[in-house]
Amino acid sequence: MTTTKGRASESQRMPDPAESGGKLSLAAVLEILAGGRLPLHFTAYDGSSAGPPDAPFGLNLKTPRGTSYLATGGGDLGLARAYIAGDLEIRGVHPGDPYELLKTLADSLVFTRPPARTMLEIVRSIGIEHLRPIAPPPGEAPPRWRRVAEGMRHSKARDAEAIHHHYDVSNSFYELVLGPSMTYTCACYPDDAAGLDAAQENKYRLVFEKLRLQPGDRLLDVGCGWGGMVRYAARRGIRATGVTLSREQTAWAQRAIAEEGLGDLAEVRYGDYRDIVEGRFDAVSSIGLLEHIGVRNYPAYFEFLQSRLRPGGLLLNHCITRPENRTAPAARGFIDRYVFPDGELTGSGRIITDAQDAGLEVLHEENLRRHYALTLRDWCANLVEHWDEAVAEVGLPTAKVWGLYMAGSRLGFENNGIQLHQVLMVKPGAPDDALPMRPWWTP
């Protein structure tokens, strides 16, 4: 038995391989790796258990295959594989929102590397057969090295495949998770009591006001998703063009535009933003696209968007960032293989630097980190509410991926491991008095 705080007591002391004939149970292995401090109750198919029996949360390792996933996956990828495949069961939380269990693990569980002799005993106890990699669950993207070998990263074809992997899951599934707004980006909550739909509408209002759009203006929305920003702008007399690399998003957005009678003002195209040939837009919005661009492509990205603007035109970039600018941008583990293949994040400082070096003048930036945590909370609540329908639509493994990914991301935003920044820029060339001297929008 372990305790979650402090050092293990005499009756709860760490297992000793010598005292058990050199063969450790799976629970004993976990106790050793966790330093005798498990914050949940763990059970395994070999009959062993560890951690407080009355803990509110638990894990049940059900199969030897799960041991192989845990032993060979490394970090969160191994845990995710075992969980998605059904070899690792969670207890005390709903699979659509395992946030509380993940928070408990993040707050209290710290793995340590035991002495070499103990590690040898652990390897012998687990069995060498469980240290050989096995086929991952269906739906996992190939490892990054293989993707590099098979095609140039962030080429148009490669980007289209990455977008297809994540966004072409099922429009019906996204309707269950995202709600009526069909908006898969950070909302902006006007107050603590606001619901998800009101917060998404408020986000579009904020972007619209920051871009100083007026009836008759032309807006380009790159990475437009299901056309939320395009339709919001068109309802207010803006000639709005959106572009997305997801065929399912394109079909849904075009249908929504037709149903609202916005066809004279709104358009959503299937294609790469780099294929837009028109220019002299009054404004460009990029809401949740930069994460897919690749950091080394930022200069070309900002140069292209600037080339689509008229002098004095405004650009708003809204994207997930890191809280610093030193970490390598490439995603690893679970997120890279199951959620955003080829996704990359960096700090807002790198984004602003590249935008300025492309000739754009940065006017304003703000961090909406806390708003994204609330957005993910509400998406998880939707998934829980519609769990049976979601599983029927996409299957249990995919539904598990989404619950795990959204709950884990919520934790990342709450802990300041990731952020969300909006950066407002202008293309030089207009008179200085073309814009107000102070922010002109309602926060």
Domains of the chain: 10-127 (3.30.1050), 156-434 (3.40.50.150)
The continuous run of DSSP H or E covering 42 comes out as: strand 41-44
Long-range contacts of the stretch 182-186 (C-beta < 8 A, 24+):
182/225, 182/226, 182/228, 182/252, 182/256, 183/225, 183/226, 183/228, 184/225, 184/226, 184/288, 185/225, 185/287, 185/288, 185/318, 186/288, 186/318, 186/320, 186/368, 186/371, 186/372, 186/375, 186/420
Residues 6+ apart with CB under 8 A from 127: none
Q: Which of 398, 421, 417, 414 is nearest to 177 (CA)?
A: 398
pLDDT interval class at 430 (50, 70, 90): very high
Q: Which of 79, 371, 26, 341 is nearest to 196 (CA)?
A: 371
Token pair 């998770």: residue: 177
C-alpha–C-alpha distance, residues 292 and 301, integer Å: 11
Roughly how many angstroms between the first and final C-alpha of the chain, as a whole number?
Answer: 52
C-alpha–C-alpha distance, residues 202 and 216, integer Å: 22
Q: Helices (DSSP H) in 74-185: which residue ranges?
A: 76-84, 99-108, 116-126, 144-150, 156-167, 171-178
- Give the SS3 label for residue 173: helix
User: Residue range 141-145: average pLDDT?
Assistant: 81
Residues 6+ apart with CB under 8 A from 131: 68, 71, 72, 123
Q: Which of 50, 31, 43, 147 is nearest to 88 (CA)?
A: 43
C-alpha–C-alpha distance, residues 274 and 303, integer Å: 11
Kindly tell me if the per-residue pLDDT of 10 is higher than 50.
no
pTM, 2 dp: 0.91
∠ CA(179), CA(184), CA(187), 5° rounding?
Answer: 85
Q: According to the model, what pLDDT value does residue 144 have?
A: 78
Q: Which residues of 387-411 are buried (b: 16+ CB within 10 A; e: fewer)?
A: beebbebbeebbbbbbbbbbbbbbb
Q: According to the model, what pLDDT value does residue 16 have?
A: 54
Instruction: Please report, as a single letter, which amino acid is at residue 394.
Output: V
Number of C-beta neighbours around residue 269 at 10 A: 16
Which percentage of the chain shows pLDDT scores above 90? 82
Q: φ, ψ for residue 321 (rounded to 5)?
A: -135, 170
pLDDT interval class at 11 (50, 70, 90): very low
Residues 6+ apart with CB under 8 A from 86: 62, 396, 397
Q: According to the model, what pLDDT value does residue 4 have?
A: 34
C-alpha–C-alpha distance, residues 224 and 31, integer Å: 48
Kindly tell me if the per-residue pLDDT of 1 is higher than 60.
no
Which of the two residues, 331 and 201, has the higher pLDDT score? 201
- Give the SS3 label for residue 46: coil
pLDDT interval class at 242 (50, 70, 90): very high
Q: According to the model, what pLDDT value does residue 209 have?
A: 98
Cβ proximity of 221 and 230 under 8 Å:
yes
Cβ proximity of 12 and 83 under 8 Å:
no
Q: According to the model, what pLDDT value does residue 332 have?
A: 84
pLDDT digits (tens, 9 = 90+) for 314-351: 999 999 999 999 988 888 899 999 998 889 999 999 99
Q: φ, ψ for residue 380 (rounded to 5)?
A: -65, -40
